[in-house]
Chains A and B, each alone.
Chain A
Amino acid sequence: EIQLQESGPGLVKPSQSLSLTCSVTGYTITSGYDWSWIRKFPGNKMEWMGYISYSGSTNYNPSLKSRISITRDTSKNQFFLQLNSVTTEDTATYYCARSRYYYDGYYHVGWFAYWGQGTLVTVSS
């Protein structure tokens, strides 16, 4: 059974970088699928941040494009989120997830099949 687990600091100072790790068990991240980061803000708004594919390519939400980087360590079956120049507005619960995506020639279809438990990151001085 696939499991995803986020880890990282729960408190980050404004202007610093936020770094999180997603450890995956039960599936090898280079075997298939896209591996995403999603965050949920206080008040319930959710935002897809970006993904790294099984081949190593990345795709980011344009709203974050200048600040975000998603990388991986295939030897540890982990992928990572780095978000630079954080502000208090980046305070959120951060989730990693495995996406399912396909294009059948007519439609693009994608959803998040498996999620980690989430980790709360607070940006505060």
Chain B
Amino acid sequence: EIVLTQSPTTMAASPGEKVTLTCRASSSVSYMHWYQQRSGTSPKLWIYETSKLASGVPNRFSGSGSGTSYSLTINSMETEDAATYYCQQGSSYPWTFGGGTKLELK
């Protein structure tokens, strides 16, 4: 099973600040996917195939990486971006998720 480790576990960012979340895999994966989950709602696909934005995702978000190291970047933090973000690999069964990064507004 591929283990995904996200860092940091929790962080706070000010409006306008650049934010980078990291996901590391225990073995190489072909792509990484990201989900946003706001409090009280279900996860939403946010970024797929490492760098493609899901429908409706603002272009201040971007994704990058390869092999065992991937990241999600917010170019300029906004209030609505406060949420928990999960990475997920679908390269090898069982598909697995990272433990999440809780992003708060400072």
Contacts and interface: CB of A to CB of B under 8 A. Distances in A.
Interface string B25-53: 00000110101000001111100110000
Interface in A101-125: 101, 106-118
B93 A59 contact: yes
Interface stretch (B14-22, B70-78, B82-90): B82-90
Contact of B30 (A61, A108, A114): A108
A63 interface: yes
Contact of B94 (A63, A111, A112, A115): A63
Interface residues of B, number: 26
B91 interface: yes
10 contacts: A48-B94, A63-B94, A95-B43, A108-B92, A109-B91, A111-B49, A111-B90, A112-B45, A117-B42, A118-B42
Contacts of A115: 42-45
A111 B45 contact: yes
A21 B35 CA distance: 23
Scoring A107, A111, A112 by chain B CB atoms within 10 A of each residue's CB, the highest score goes to A111
Given A106-B30, A108-B91, A115-B42, 8 more contacts: A48-B96, A59-B93, A62-B1, A109-B30, A109-B90, A110-B91, A117-B41, A117-B42
Contacts of A112: 33, 35, 43, 45, 88
Interface of B: 1, 30-31, 33, 35, 41-45, 48-49, 54, 84, 86, 88, 90-97, 99-100
Contacts of A101: 90
Contacts of B49: 109, 111
A89 interface: no
Given A44-B84, A48-B96, A48-B97, A108 B42 contact: no
Q: Nearest 10 A-B pairs (CB), nearest first?
A: A110-B90, A107-B30, A111-B33, A46-B97, A61-B94, A115-B42, A48-B95, A44-B100, A118-B42, A111-B48
Interface in A75-119: 95, 99-101, 106-118
B45 A113 contact: yes
